[in-house]
Amino acid sequence: MDKNNWIYACKATDMPHNGGVCVQYGTEQIALYYFTHRNEWYATQNLCPHKKQMALSRGMLGSLQGEPKVACPFHKKTFSLKNGQCLNDETCSSIKTYPVKVQEGNIFINIETLLTPHSSTPIEYEPQ
């Protein structure tokens, strides 16, 4: 991975425990999570594909048979933090996930996939 694709998000001490925050990058919104109970960091798109709400960073973290997940606050669709797949509704699209790294208490998100098209990007198909 190109080192230029890492963006600085915030300090580890700014983060809530077992919860998320939203990071602004240009016009994009990225949800960053500190899963304290597992001592793991994750990042995903902030947009919930269900009703297109900017809300995942305010969602609740948890696990399903060991798979870490976030639950959208609106209608509780849950998404794997590892691969972005919706875990409780097959008809719901997946979300994008981004690598995260912690360096000397600073958090960085890798936005490479944000710059290249991703297969799970919801395409808006409007009738012509």
Partner 1 sequence: MKIIVIGNGMVGQKFCEKLVAQKIAGLELTVFGEETLPAYDRVHLSEYFAGKTVQDLCMKPMSWYAENGVDLRLGDPVTHVERAQKTVTSFEGTQFAYDYLVFATGSAAFVPQISGVDKHGVFVYRTIEDLNLIWRHAKIAKSAVVIGGGLLGLEAAKAMLDLGITQTHVVEFAPRLMPRQIDDGGSHVLTEKLKALGITTHIQKNTAVILGNETITGLMFTDGSILSTDMLVISAGIKPRDELAKKAGLPIGHRGGIIVNDRMQTSDPSVFAIGECAVHEGAVYGLVAPGYEMAEVVVHQLSGGAKQFSGFDMSTKLKLIGIDVASFGDPFITDEETRSIVYHDNHKGIYKRINVSSDGSKLLGGILVGDAEAYNKLQQICVNQLTIPHAPSDLIVTPGNASNDAGNFELPAGALICSCEGVKKQAIEDAVVQNGCESFDAVKKCTGAGSGCGGCTPMVKDIINATLKKQGKVVRNVICEHFAYSRQELFDIIKIKNLHTFDAVLDALGTGDGCEICRPAISSILASLWNDLVIKKESATSQDTNDRFLANIQKGGTYSVVPRIPGGEITPDKLIVIGTVAKKYNLYTKITGGQRIDLFGAHLNDLPLIWEELIAAGFESGHAYGKALRTVKSCVGSTWCRFGLHDSVSFAVRVENRYKGLRAPHKIKSAVSGCIRECAEAQSKDFGIIATEKGWNLYVCGNGGSKPQHALLLAADIDSETCIRYIDRFLMFYIKTADPLTRTATWLNKMEGGIDYLRNVVVHDSLGMAAELEAQMQTLVDHYECEWKKAVETPELRKRFTHFINAPEVRDPTIVFEPLRAQKKAAEW
> Which residues of this chain interact with ligand FES, rule CB under 6 A?
48, 50-51, 53, 55, 72, 74-75, 77
What single string gives the DSSP state of each residue in 93-117? PP--EE-EEEETTEEEEE-HHHHS-
At closest approach, how far in Å is the CB of 102 from ligand FES?
28
User: What is the rounded CA–CA span in Å between residue 91 and residue 113?
Assistant: 23
Total residues interacting with partner 1, rule: CB under 8 A: 54
Per-residue contact string for residues 36-75; x = within reach of partner 1 by CB under 8 A: xxx------------xxxxx--xxxxxxxxx-xx-x-xx-
Residue among 62 and 99 whose Cβ is closer to ligand FES: 62
User: What is the rounded CA–CA span in Å between residue 55 and residue 88?
Assistant: 17
User: What is the rounded CA–CA span in Å between residue 90 and residue 105?
Assistant: 37
Distance of alpha carbon 117 from the chain centroid: 16
Residue among 19 and 112 whose Cβ is closer to partner 1: 19
At closest approach, how far in Å is the CB of 115 from partner 1?
19
Q: With beta carbons less than 8 A apart as the criterion, state whether 9 and 25 touch.
A: no
* The only residue of 5, 6, 12, 22 in contact with partner 1, by rule CB under 8 A: 22
